[in-house]
Structure 1
Amino acid sequence: MQFHHHGYVSTDPRVEPAAGVGIDRPDELPENVDVLIVGTGPAGIVTAAQLAQFPSVTTRIVERRGDRLPIGQADGIQARSVETFQAFGFANRIIDEAYQITEMAFWKPDPSDPSKIARAARAVDDPTGISEFPHLIVNQARVLDYFAEFMANSPARMKPDYGFEFKSLQVAAPDEDAEYPVTVTLVHTTGEHAGQERIVHAKYVVGADGAHSAVRESIGCTMAGDQAFHAWGVMDTLAVTDFPDIRTKCAIQSDTGGNILHIPREGGQLFRMYVDLGEVDPSDKGAVRQTTLEQIIAKANAILHPYTLDVKDVPWHSVYEVGHRLTDRFDDVVVEEIGTRTPRVFITGDACHTHSAKAGQGMNVSMQDGFNIGWKLGYVLDGRSPESLLSTYSAERQPVAKSLIDFDKQWSTLMATRPEDLDDPTELEDFYTRTAEFPAGFMTQYPPSMLVGEASFQDLATGFPIGKRFKSARAVRVGDANYVQLGHHHRADGRWRVYAFADAAASGEPSALADWAHWLQTAPDSPLLVHSPKDRDVDSVFDVKVIYQQPHPEVDISRVPPVFLPKTGPFGLTDYEKVYGIDPAEDIFEVRGLDRGGVVVVVRPDQYVANVLPLSATDELAAFFRTNLLAR
């Protein structure tokens, strides 16, 4: 972590200096804003946290509640989300307080006595080692707290504006050329002004206001999908029990009583149970939601037989019916307007996709929605990218949500099926193991666009598929001989990462890398010179790193091209954290299938691989950035 850029820091280094709109930030919600975010759930809070790193952008996030969320409904944190937490600087802290899932147990009717359940199998949670980060369980409210802390410590000093409910919005016609084209009507929900309306004018609006989104309705989007007519009771529970796997994630299938998805929670004692309430008559009209807590507990005991559950406390419980719904677009541009204008209003998270809670995807996918739109809004409003960049949000995230719903239909159906009705008795655990990469968050692969290059040179870096997230690997920092995960330095600071994996020549020798580095530092078409603002540090847009094929003692840092040792900050101090050698025990060139002739890997601000090019392809690299960045 670097924090002495502007002089000695003796206080908390996570608190960045206030800048731009963060200096003397008004407590009262302004009349005019660049971005208005509606809702402080996972999608909204991540969008706000990312935009808090753009102090030139006036962003406000409103919430109808009068204060923070005390307890959340979501709790499953997939490894991709923990990677995202690392980007926002709190992965290790939340790992320490969370429950870590390492395996899942599968309980089925005992063959010798089907009235009882017995453990039938265990499955490792991450059998292929897809991520160095764990699968966690932690209260959604704590996740929101960490993002809120990051926002408050960021240069923009952002905090939620509590006590405002969204009522309606109106978007001005393009020919009106309004500076703030979206007029939003809010209503005070708390305090002396409760019930009064408040008008806010915005350049862009992000609707993160949940499954019953009023923002979605305001832009004419409707949810399409189906209802499974199957109900579940869910409860967070403190109980005394003789069930032996109470601290292990379990799928429990009984003979006649239904099924339970059991998830231990953080803190060592709390656990969550999704209890099968069975099929729902289509004419039920929601009556199943009146199922009492006592009935849910009784059902859980019936499924767990011969084990018992003596419930002592239930901090939260609910009843829901499984439904799978998706909007056809995630912004306000209808089909006939595509290509004629750019979007002004976006929807994220549950506002555009809903599904069951069984796969633990709701919060995780919603946070990636927010990460995706957040940096794009920041780039457009900061003058770094054209407005056309914003059209990529719906194009990228809508197919991801569609894939999620297709996956969840299979998983939730299997969870609700009696073992004897399955084609194969091991079908549930086999599906869990076979599809592990998807719920972990790593199957997303964005197609070619202005942000994702063609896979013309994918064979040069087979371990970094274009369009998928950058999968970290170990290297050794030359300056201090520290072993590091490259991806862990990819912070949510809005910068592109450009990794130059060197050819075989040693540092200082004539090489393809040396030619590439000279071009990057001096050529008129170099992205560094074309797209980096003159009044900011040379690495303010691009974080350029080099990884040599030699172990770190064989890399002479005094002969490394100066573009990899930039001088930044008011004192022009040298940054020594951009030069790496291999870890001989885990050579990144071997681990990630990198060509020994050298290769450049470009990674977007949201950690997805954008391009793979040979060191000689300088024209192609310059042209790629011209498609998505503006000249300084």
Structure 2
Amino acid sequence: MQFHHHGYVSGDPRVQPAAGYGLDRPAELPDEVDVLIVGSGPAGMIAAAQLAQFPGIRTHVVERRAGRLEMGQADGIQARSVETFQAFGFAERITAEAYRITEMAFWKPDPANPANIVRGAVPPDDAHGISEFPHLIVNQARVLDYFAEVAARAPARVTPDYGLEFVGLTVAEPDENTAHPVTVTLRHTTGPQKGASRTVRAGYVIGSDGAHSAVRQAIGRKPVGDRANHAWGVMDVLAVTDFPDVRTKCAIQSHDGGSILLIPREGGYLARWYVDLGEVPPGEGTRIRVTSLDEVIARANRIIHPYTLDVKDVPWHSVYEVGHRVTDGFDDVPDDLTGIRTPRVFLTGDACHTHSAKAGQGMNVSMQDGWNIAWKLAHVLTGRAPESLLATYSAERQVVAQDLIDFDREWSRLMATPPEDLPDPTYLEDFYVKTAEFPCGFMTQYQPSMIVSEPVHQHLATGFPVGKRFKSAPVERVAEGNPAHLGHHARADGRWRVYAFADAAAPGEPSALREWAQWLGTAPDSPLLRHTPAGTDPDSVLDVKVVYQQDHFGVEFPDVPEVFKPRVGPFELVDHEKVYATDPAQDIFELRGIDRGGVVVVVRPDQYVAAVLPLSATDELSAFFAGALLQPDTMPTDTPTITNMPTKENT
């Protein structure tokens, strides 16, 4: 973590100095905002946390509840989400309080006595080392707390406006009030003004208001899909049981009583039980949904026989039918106007995809929705990128949502299938291991667009697939020799990352890297010079780092090109944390298939690889950023602008 570059900080360095809108943020929701986020769930709060990094953007979150969520229904945190938490600065803290999944036990009928269940395979949760981060279980409410803390401590000081419910919206024609064309009607749900309506004008609206989204209805979007005609009871319980794996994630299949997915919860005592209630006959959905808690508990006891479950307390429970739906578009632009009209309203999370909870994907995919649209809105509103960038949100995330639905449909079907009806006795656990990369959150691969290049040079860095998330690897930081993970230094600050992997020449000697660095620091077509606004730090838009093939003893800091040692902050201090060497025990060049002749890897603000290029391809690198970003002198005059030079120090 870096601080002091704007002056000595004696307090908590996670509290960033207030700036821009955060210096005099109004206590109540104003009549005009740049971004209005409807709903303070996972998608809404990660969007708020990202946008709060941009103090020139007036971001507000409205939430119909009177205060913070106390008990969320989601609890599974996949490794991709923990990577995301690292970028927002709280991965270590939330990991410390969470339950960590290291393996999954599969129970099935005892062949000798099918009325009883026995333990089968117990595969590790991440047998292939997909991520250095763990798979966690922690209540959704705590995730929201952490994002709320990040947003409140960021320069724009974003906090939710509670007690306001979305009623409707209208979007003006492009020639009417183009800066804030969305008129939103809200209604007070609490306090002395309860029931009263008010309107807010917004530049953009993010609908994060759940499966019954009023924002979705207001823009005429519809969920497409069906129900699986299968019901499940879910309960968080404090219980006494002789079931031996109560503190292990389990898939339990009985001979004739159905199935259970058991998820231990944080804190050491709580556990979540998803209990199979069987097929739902046509027209019986209402009856199934009123299944009593006692019946769910009784069903659980039949499934885990010969073991018993003595429930002492149930903080939360529900009954639901499995449904799989994807909204027909994730923004307000009709299909026939895609690429012609600028989207102004966006849907995220459950507002645009619903599915079962058993794959543990809902909150995880929702957060990636929110992050995806938030950094893009920030780029457009600050003049970094053209409005055409916003069309990539629906194009990218709708495909991801459909992949999620397809996976969840198959996983739900297998969980509900009696063991004797599966192709072989180990089919369920084999499916779990074979598809591990998807539920971990790492199968997303964005297709070529203005922010994802064609993978023409993919062979130069096979471990960094273009369009997929940047998979970190161990390195050594040259300045002090400390071991580090290359990707962990990238914060959710809206900047692009440009990683230059050096050729074999020693630092200080003539090399392809030195020529590339000279071009980046001086050439007229350098994206670093072309896209960095005057008066901001040289790394305010593009964060450029270098990784040498030598270990840290083989790299002398004075020999490193100046472009990797930018001077930042009001005192123009040298940033020493952009120069890395190879860890001899875990060579990143070997681990990620990086060509020894030198490679440039470009990574988007949301950690997805945007381009892989040889060091010699300066024209291609320049052209890529020319298509993704605007030059500062072409910034729109009616949009907010920012600088990363705060005007108020934290104390």
Please indicate the TM-score interval, normalised by the length of the shorter structure: over 0.9
Cα distance in structure 1, aligned partners of 2:59 and 2:601: 32
Please list, as runs of the form range in 1=range in 2, the aligned pairs for 1:14-53 lying within 5 A after superposition.
14-53=14-53
Could you tell me which residue of structure 1 aligns to residue 518 of structure 2? 518
Deviations, residues 74-98 of structure 1 (Å, cap 9, x unaligned): 0000000000000000000000000
C-alpha deviation, 1:425, in angstroms? 1.4
The whole-number CA distance in structure 2 between the counterparts of 1:39 and 1:76 is 20
1:614 match = 614
What secondary structure sits across from 1:389 in the alignment? helix
Match of 2:292 in 1: 292
Q: d(CA) in 2 for partners of 1:517 and 1:282? A: 67
Paired position in structure 2 for 1:11: 11
Letter aligned with residue 112 of structure 1: A
In the alignment, what sits opposite 1:509? 509
Q: Post-superposition shift, 1:196?
A: 0.3
Aligned partner letter, 2:280:
V
Q: CA deviation at 1:176?
A: 2.4
Structure 1 window deviating more from structure 2 (140-149 vs 119-128): it is 119-128
Distance 1:564 1:555 in 2: 13
SS at match of 2:499: strand
Is the 2:333–2:342 contact (alpha carbons within 8 Å) kept by the matching residues of 1? Answer: yes
Q: Distance in 2 between matches of 1:597 and 1:423?
A: 49
User: Which residue pairs with 2:425 in the alignment?
Assistant: 425
Secondary structure at the counterpart of residue 155 of structure 1: coil
Provide the rounded CA distance (Å) in 1 between the counterparts of 2:128 and 2:467. 21
The amino acid that maps onto 1:226 is: D
What is residue 414 of structure 2 aligned with on the other side? Answer: 414
Show the counterpart of 1:563.
Answer: 563
- The amino acid of 2:419's aligned partner reads P
Secondary structure of the structure 1 residue equivalent to 2:201: strand
Are positions 1:396 and 2:396 aligned together?
yes
Matches within 5 A, 1:117-516: 117-516=117-516
For structure 1, which segment, 169-178 or 606-615, has the greater mean C-alpha deviation from structure 2 after superposition?
169-178
In the alignment, what sits opposite 1:115?
115
Measured in 2, the distance between the counterparts of 1:82 and 1:146 equals: 12
Spell out, residue by residue over 1:83-140, the C-alpha distance to the aligned partner (whole angstroms, 9 max, x if none).
0000000000000000000000011011111111111111111010000000000000
Amino acid of the structure 1 residue aligned with 2:581: G
Corresponding residue of 1:531: 531
Provide the aligned C-alpha RMSD in A.
Answer: 0.6
Q: Deviations over 1:149-173 (max 9, x none)?
A: 0001100000000000000000001
Equivalent in the alignment of 2:644: none
For 1:612 and 1:285, the matched residues in 2 are separated by 51
User: Whole-Å Cα distance in 2 between the matches of residues 177 and 371 of structure 1?
Assistant: 27
The letter for the 2-side match of 1:416 is A
Paired residue secondary structure (2:120): strand
> Counterpart of 1:597?
597
TM-fit CA distance, 1:607: 0.1
Q: CA deviation at 1:179?
A: 2.5
Find the residue that maps to 2:534 and give its secondary structure.
Answer: coil
Contact 2:285 2:321 in 1 (8 A): no
Quick one: distance in 2 between partners of 1:525 and 1:172?
Answer: 39
SS at match of 2:283: coil
CA contact (8 A) 2:339 2:388 kept: no
Stretches (4+) displaced over 2 A: 175-179
Per-residue CA distance 1:231-260 (angstroms, 9 max, x = gap):
000000000010000000000001111110
Q: Aligned partners of 1:285 and 1:444: how far apart in 2?
A: 34
Distance 1:190 1:498 in 2: 48
Write the distance in 2 (CA, Å) between the matches of 1:6 and 1:450: 35
Give the Cα–Cα distance (whole angstroms) in 2 for the partners of residues 511 and 121 of structure 1: 53
| Number of the residue aligned with 1:95 | 95
Under a length normalisation based on structure 2, what TM-score does the superposition of the two structures give? Answer: 0.97
Structure 1 Cα separation of the partners of residues 159 and 462 of structure 2:
42
TM-superposed CA distance for 1:60, in Å, is 0.2
Q: Deviations for 1:482-510, whole angstroms, at most 9, x for unmatched residues?
A: 00000101110000000000011111111
Query: SS where residue 318 of structure 2 aligns?
Result: strand
The separation in 1 between residues aligned to 2:108 and 2:594, in whole angstroms, is 45
C-alpha separation between the residues in 2 aligned to 1:163 and 1:333?
29
Give the whole-Å Cα distance in 2 for the aligned partners of 1:127 and 1:535. 48
Q: Write the distance in 1 (CA, Å) between the matches of 2:307 and 2:357.
A: 25
How far the C-alpha of 1:28 sits from its partner, in A, is 0.5
What displacement does 1:178 show? 3.1
1:422-463 deviations in whole A, cap 9, x for unaligned? 111111100000000000000000000000001111111010
**1:117 alignment partner, SS class:** strand
3-state SS of the aligned residue for 2:121?
strand
1:222, 1:310 → 2: CA distance?
Answer: 43
Q: Distance in 2 between matches of 1:234 and 1:383?
A: 47
1:339 is displaced (CA, Å) by 2.1
CA distance in 1, matches of 2:7, 2:33: 33
Deviation readout 1:515-574 (Å, 9 max, x if unpaired): 110111111111111100111101101110000110110101111100101110011100
> Match of 1:265, as an amino acid?
R
Q: Distance in 2 between matches of 1:178 and 1:79?
A: 40
The one-letter amino acid of 1:75's match is D
| Post-superposition offset of 1:177 | 4.5
Q: Secondary structure at the match of 1:375?
A: helix
Letter in 1 for 2:521: Q
Letter in 2 for 1:536: T
- The alignment partner of 1:412 has SS state of helix
Could you tell me whether the CA contact under 8 Å between 2:104 and 2:251 is conserved in 1? yes
- In 1, the alpha carbon distance for the partners of 2:317 and 2:105 equals 24
What residue ranges of structure 2 are gaps of 5+ in the alignment?
633-651
Counterparts of 2:250 and 2:434, CA distance in 1: 17
Q: Structure 1: which amino acid aligns with 2:313? A: D
| Conserved 8 A contact 2:130-2:437 | yes
Evaluate the alpha carbon distance shift between residue 163 and residue 177 of structure 1 in structure 2; reply closer, same or farther with a 3 A threshold: closer
Report the Cα offset of residue 281 of structure 1: 1.0
How far has the Cα of 1:198 moved from its partner? 1.2
Uncovered stretches (5+) of structure 1, i.e. residues with no partner: none
Distance in 2, matches of 1:347 and 1:557, equals 47
Equivalence for 1:626:
626
In the other structure, the counterpart of 1:2 is 2
Secondary structure, in 3 states, of the residue corresponding to 2:187?
strand
- Counterpart Cα distance in 2 of 1:74 and 1:110: 32
Instruction: Give the Cα separation in 1 of the matches to 2:8 and 2:254.
Output: 62
Aligned to 1:85: 85
